[in-house]
Each structure stands twice: as structure tokens, then as C-alpha cells.
Structure 1
Amino acid sequence: MSDTLRLLLALLGLGPQLEKLLGDKWPAYRDDLLELAGRAGEGNDPGELRRALDALVQRLLAEAPAAEIVRRAVQATQPAPVKEIVIRRGRPPPPVVSEIVRPSADEATGIVTIPVFYGTDRARGGDTPASYFRGERGTLAFGIAEVSVPTRGRDLGELTGPSWWRFELTADPARHVILRSVGPLGRDVFVTSLTDSLAAADARDVLVFVHGYNVTFEDAARRAGQLSVDLKFAGRTLLYSWASAADTKKYTVDESTIEWSRDHFEAFLQLALAEIGAREVHVIAHSMGNRAVINTLERVSSWQLPTGAAKLGQVIFAAPDIDRDRFVQLAAKFKDSAARFTLYASSRDVALLASKFIHGYPRAGEAGAALLVVDGVDTIDASLVDTSLVGLHHSYFGDKRSILNDMFNLIAQQLAPDQRFDLQASGNAPQKYWSYRA
């Protein structure tokens, strides 16, 4: 974890104390901290982020009541002295159970095009793929988004796009994950198209991705396509894109919208289970998107699905931004409704700590002292995975090789945690959970 992130997390943790010490001045500092947390979660330029944080710290140090605890936080987050590293020789570890193999369907161009079957309640926007849906609420609509994903020159899990510092002014299909087109379909045509496509797939399974807070339709579709390729998913990939405002300053707007969106997601999930001839439906929900999924799962037992409907297979809660205690209440109701539930948590997720900062209570995706272990859900502490990047990027679930490998073993191989080499058991029943090997 970087020193910048460590200090930002420390200041977020001091929120209640700073509020008491600063009084009427606190709201302005609170808003600045939350904006920095949002920028960190987006993976913004580390140098620019550090300069902005340093400026905020200098202002806090000038506030006499708060200066001492801020100074202690700065000192506590300084890098530790470098220790001598002793290399011990021994037997190499056994191989990973199932390493992900990159798609090789198009060796000539090194580009795979994924049809992402979407449902969205966003309002219509412009005519280009990037602007086709806006961040305002609309009505439930369906269609197919084409996403091209390069299979060469891109690290597994990387959601590549043009970078100004590389002087890349336009997207290059050979290097970047690109939303190439958005094709709207009426509901009946959508169901028929998806049914026919699934019948021709290597597996009659579907993967439903639900994005989190501060995400555009374009980036949600790109992430869905990237996950499909890197997980080497043999069925068809679906996206449910709720009307996130895609603005770090509109967290509370997104909170209201995800609650409004739940009935639309429920209708979309029922369609996937009952109308397209699927065998199993797997779900990956990220961040705030978990609220729609978890609140929908509460009602699954009351659904009247037709004979022969698909079953819920692997349901993955990635960094869930939902009240920890609320998750416990709902898990007791949905724990038997799918083949397996898996929760990925991290103590280094700045977006979740910012959410806790706002709400005053732990989030279900936190690790550390707040790590959630509940009956019927496999909890995986991902805090140790690639710690130089995990905390700076709230989407660590989708862009870290070991977590993608774990999801591959979970979805494609149907392996329990004790069968997945990268994981080791921690704690004792009933508080047993899993963590990545150091």
C-alpha cells in the first residue's frame, strides 16, 4: 500500500474525532476527504493525488485543535526502515489448480469481440456508443453491446484505455478494451436473440455483472467484456447497468438510485433464470451494485419460476458497499438460494472506508476488525493481494490476476475454497474464513 493511501485511510478513520475538534469547519474538510477518496478509487494520477492530500494536511495542521492528532497520523504512516531480506531455499509451491488460459479464438488479430447482453434503466443519451446512455434514470431497456478485448499486449484483468501521458488520443482495438457499438432491442427480440446465442454457446450458463457506484454505461460494458474474456467464460455475458450518475460528488444520488433500481434488476434476473433456456445463472456484483442484488435475493424464495428454470449458481459479492449488519440480516434469508455465495473483502479499499466514513457503520466488504463471516457465505480476505494497487482501486476484484484465477476456479471449476490452492483457512468455525497465501 502506498504512503499516500495509508495517510488518506488514517484521516478517514479520524473522522469522528476531527468532527468534534473542528466543529463548524468540519463539513468542508469532510467533503475534501471524500473527494480525495473518490479520486483514489478511480485510480487517478498518484502524484496529483499526493499533492492534493499534502495541501489538505497542511490546512489541517494549521487548525490548532486538530493539529496534534493529524501530526500523529502523518508520523504513523511514514515508511518503515528497510529490513534485510533473507532468502530461504526450499521446495517450490505446488502449481495452481486451474490457471486461466487466454482466449485464442482470433490469433490473427489478437482481438476478441464479446456480445454483452444488457438491461439498463438509464436514460437515453447521444448516438455514439460512449454517450448512448446517460447517468439519469430512464425506463428498463434491453440490447446488445459489442465490446472488443485485446488478447495480446494487455495484462490479465487490465481494463485498458487511451492514456494522455502515452500520447494516445484515440482508442486502439489492438491495445484497448473498447465499447464498439450499442444496439437497442425490444424485450421480445432481446429474449429470442439471447436464447439463440446461448443455445450456440459452449455452455448454457450466463454470467450477470452488476457494476457499482460512479460508473458509466460505457465502462460497465467494457468491464463486463473484460471479465468474460479473462474468466474464459464459456456461456453468455449479461450486464445490468443501473443509472449511476458516474460522479464522485454524487454518492448519495447513486444511493437513492440503486434502491429505485432494485425492481428493474429483479425483473432482469428473473428473465435470465426463466426465459432464455439457461442451465445456471452466475452473478458478480460490485460495490454499491450489491445492494440491488442482495435485496433481490431476499425475495428469491417467493418467486414462482416455471418448471425447468435455471438455478442460481455462483453469486459473488465483490467489495459490497452495504451496511454490514444489514447484510447479516439478509444473508439469513437468501443463504440457500444459490449453489454458493462468495464475499471478497479488503481492509485496504478506500472507497468502502469512505462509505463507512459517511454512514458511521462498517460495510460488508471491509476486512480487518470488521471482517464479516456469516453462515452460508464464503468470506475471502483479499487484503494481501497485490497490496501496491488493491487499495487504490475499488475494482480490485476485476483487475488482479490471483482474484480472477480464484473466480475462474469458482465459476468454471466449481471448486470450494479448500480446493483452491491460493487460499488458506483462517479462524475457527463458526468464524472460519479464507485469505490469500502471503
Structure 2
Amino acid sequence: MLRYFFIFLLALPLTACVDRTISETVPTALSVGSPETVFATTTRAREPDGSYGFKRGEALQYLEMTVSIPPNHTPGTLDFSYANPNPEKQFVMAGVDELQGPSEMKARLGGKDEVSIFIHGYNTTQFETTFRAAQLSRDINIPGAIMVYSWPSQARGAGYAYDLDSMLFARDGLEQTVRQLKAMGVRRVILVAHSMGTALTMEMMRQAELREPGWASKNIEGVVLIAPDLDVDLFRSQMDTIITPPDPFIVMVSRKDKLLNISARLRGTTQGERLGNISSVDALADYKISILDTTAFNKDADSSHFVAATSPALLAIINSARRVSRTFDPDGRGFDVIAPNSVRNPTGATEIVLSETGQARVSSP
């Protein structure tokens, strides 16, 4: 088991020599790049220098951030620097405003009736998840406002156990975020979670359902789980509690996700499988979810754990589907284009296997 742990550390980006908690804010970057607004709620504690690190905070904090996207950005790429960023070629933080609670957040949202919340995974800093959310928003033209829920990850390769505890600690803050957005009058709240952030998302919905049956479908208009680092049996147990899941409910998987194989072995799972790299969807047949198989887009191990954000071909297919959707249904909902209602099994799971040509094989397990 110890051997797998060291392999897992070696598989992570080699950033030990870089202070990832620091990223420069450069307002002048907007004279070169184009702005992307990213709102945030966070359960990270505010440090004396104004940054938000890995310590757990007692209260939810509210932020509005402006990211400068380089002029020649191509879909699927995310280049940034922790020091001396180059706005000609890199994503740069151009501004960070601390907001005075939900009332100011509501004013800044400006009446937008759709908010997509990105929930990051393990080993991630606040600025890193903000840059990734900005990249995804730009690359697939996410409608409405984009927000990150930034939970207190230690952002260290050796911080996996700390992050597991922090993920559970952060459940209440995510539920509070959703409740406050709905109280502000936001009509549609979409949750887009990656890796360990999918476990946080499922646990948050489960706890809310136990207190108030039907809460998830009443307050969340769509869920996208990307490469979920989640035990399949645990997922089934969570779904059994969430009797009426949000619609659409999309699980993006890849059989080539090597990091999830390592995660499974760390937990003693002999099959080496997590929900995000499941080889057969038969165990999920009874749940009204869409399983989107993106295996065809995995070209190497480095991109296998977040192919939804790093594959230009997959991003192009999603964008093309959105353009067609807008042509025939201008009021169509944002993430429905990934798994249209017309192809979904109304009584159980739908498996959609995508190819690089844009063709999809649809089946019901």
C-alpha cells in the first residue's frame, strides 16, 4: 500500500519548489487580455496578508475576481505563473474584491438568473481553481455567471488525508452557498464538480435531503460530476438518499484515468476502480443519470484526470452542440446540451459514449 502512495505522489505535478499559495494580482493585465469574472464563496480562512490558504475558516467569505485571459488563448489550455505572470501568454489575476456578504454578492450578480458553481478537487489552491473556472467558462461559453466554491485544500501532494477531512468540513458552506443564491432570486443553480469535489457535492446533497426530502431537485437545476473520485458503492448509497436527483445529472467518466486507479488502490479496492473510471455502468442502471464516456479523448496520463477541460476536441463538440441548441431552442438550458433530454432514458441510466468524430453511441444499461 505504501508503494502505491509514493506512486501517487510522483503522478502529481512537481510544484514542491513553488509557493503555490501566492499569485500576483496585476490590474494592468486587462490592457492586454480580456476579462472573465469569477465569483467565489470560500471556507478557507483569510490570512493576515489577505490571501486564502489551506486553513479552515469559521464563516463563509464572498469574493468577486477578474481574470485576464491572454489574447491568443486556445481551448483546452491553461497557462499561468505564480510569479511575474505574462498577460500576453498567460492567465493573470487582474482583480480581487472582497464582498460584504450575500447582499453585495446579489448586487454584483446583476440579476443573472443562472449561476454555475465549480467545485474543485484535491491539491488545489484558490487561484488555481479560479483560473480553471475562467478557462472552462470561456472555452464552452457557460451561460449566466460562473462561481467557484473554494474549500480548504492543503494544495500539497502529501495532503490527501487533510483534504479528505476538509472536503467533509466544507459540506455546510456549499449548502449555504446554494441556499443563499436561491434566496437572491437565482432561478438556476448548476453544480460542476471535479475529482474529490464530486464527493463534497454528493455529501452536501445527501445531508440536505436527510433534513428536507426533495431539497436537491427543488434547489439545484443540474449536476455535472467530472472524473469523480468516489467509491461506486458510496455513490449508490448517496443516490438512494437523493430520491429525486437534479435533472440533468451527468457523470463524466474515462476508463483511462490512471490517477483514479491509484486512488482506488490507496483505499484497498482490488479492482482499481472509482466512479470516474468505472468499466461497466450496470451497477448504475437504476439511477436517472447520464454517464458520459470520454475515454476516446484521453491521449496521455497527464490529461486523463480532467479531459473535460483539456481536450480541444471534446470542448469543440460541446460548443458545437450548444450552437445547435441555441439555433433551435434559444431558451435552452446550459448543460442540457451535453446529455439532451431527447436521448435520455426516462426511467434509469443512459450511457453516452463519445468519439472524436462527434458521433455518440447511446444505450440504456
- Specify if TM > 0.5: yes
| 1:174-323 to 2 correspondences below 5 Å | 174-187=88-101, 191-201=102-112, 204-273=113-182, 275-301=183-209, 311-323=219-231
Check whether the contact 2:40–2:147 (CA below 8 A) recurs between aligned residues.
yes
The alignment's C-alpha RMSD in Å is 3.2
**Structure-2 separation of matches of 1:118 and 1:416:** 25
- Of 280-289 and 295-304, more deviation after overlay is shown by 295-304
Cα distance change of structure 1 residues 356 and 148 upon mapping to structure 2, 3 Å threshold? same
Cα distance change of structure 1 residues 173 and 392 upon mapping to structure 2, 3 Å threshold? same
Structure 2 residue 334 is the aligned partner of structure 1 residue 412 = yes
**Structure-1 separation of matches of 2:6 and 2:219:** 45
Structure 2 residue 237 is the aligned partner of structure 1 residue 326 = no
Check whether the contact 1:348–1:391 (CA below 8 A) recurs between aligned residues.
no
Amino acid at match of 1:437: S
Check whether the contact 1:282–1:313 (CA below 8 A) recurs between aligned residues.
yes
Q: CA deviation at 1:184?
A: 2.0
Q: Deviations over 1:3-57 (max 9, x none)?
A: xxxxxxxxxxxxxxxx6xxxxxxx3x333212122248x8xxxxxxxxxxxxxxx
| 1:5-16 to 2 correspondences below 5 Å | none
Tell me what 2:305 maps to.
394
Cα distance change of structure 1 residues 379 and 142 upon mapping to structure 2, 3 Å threshold? same
Cα distance change of structure 1 residues 146 and 303 upon mapping to structure 2, 3 Å threshold? same
Q: Structure 1 residue aligned with 2:291, among 357, 360, 379?
A: 379
Q: CA deviation at 1:236?
A: 1.2
Check whether the contact 2:4–2:265 (CA below 8 A) recurs between aligned residues.
no
**Structure-1 separation of matches of 2:335 and 2:54:** 37
Q: Structure 1 residue aligned with 2:265, among 357, 366, 377?
A: 357
Check whether the contact 1:335–1:376 (CA below 8 A) recurs between aligned residues.
no
Structure 2 residue 348 is the aligned partner of structure 1 residue 436 = no
Amino acid at match of 2:132: R
Tell me what 2:52 maps to.
133
**Structure-2 separation of matches of 1:125 and 1:226:** 26
Q: Structure 2 residue aligned with 1:114, among 15, 36, 55?
A: 36
Q: CA deviation at 1:398?
A: 1.7
5+ long unaligned stretches in structure 2: 16-29, 323-332, 357-365
Check whether the contact 2:66–2:96 (CA below 8 A) recurs between aligned residues.
no
**Structure-2 separation of matches of 1:334 and 1:340:** 14
Amino acid at match of 1:117: F
Structure 2 residue 11 is the aligned partner of structure 1 residue 31 = no
Q: CA deviation at 1:404?
A: 3.3
| 1:36-185 to 2 correspondences below 5 Å | 36-39=10-13, 111-125=33-47, 127=49, 132-150=51-69, 152-162=71-81, 170-185=84-99
Cα distance change of structure 1 residues 283 and 415 upon mapping to structure 2, 3 Å threshold? same
Check whether the contact 2:43–2:59 (CA below 8 A) recurs between aligned residues.
yes
Tell me what 1:81 maps to.
none
Amino acid at match of 2:10: L
Q: CA deviation at 1:110?
A: 6.5
5+ long unaligned stretches in structure 1: 1-18, 20-26, 43-107, 164-168
- Of 319-328 and 175-184, more deviation after overlay is shown by 175-184
**Structure-1 separation of matches of 2:349 and 2:220:** 25
For these two proteins, the number of residue pairs brought into alignment is 323
Structure 1 segments, 4+ long, off by >6 Å, are none
**Structure-1 separation of matches of 2:236 and 2:335:** 28
Check whether the contact 2:289–2:348 (CA below 8 A) recurs between aligned residues.
no
Cα distance change of structure 1 residues 418 and 118 upon mapping to structure 2, 3 Å threshold? closer
Cα distance change of structure 1 residues 241 and 418 upon mapping to structure 2, 3 Å threshold? closer
Cα distance change of structure 1 residues 124 and 372 upon mapping to structure 2, 3 Å threshold? farther
Cα distance change of structure 1 residues 248 and 178 upon mapping to structure 2, 3 Å threshold? same
Q: CA deviation at 1:358?
A: 0.5
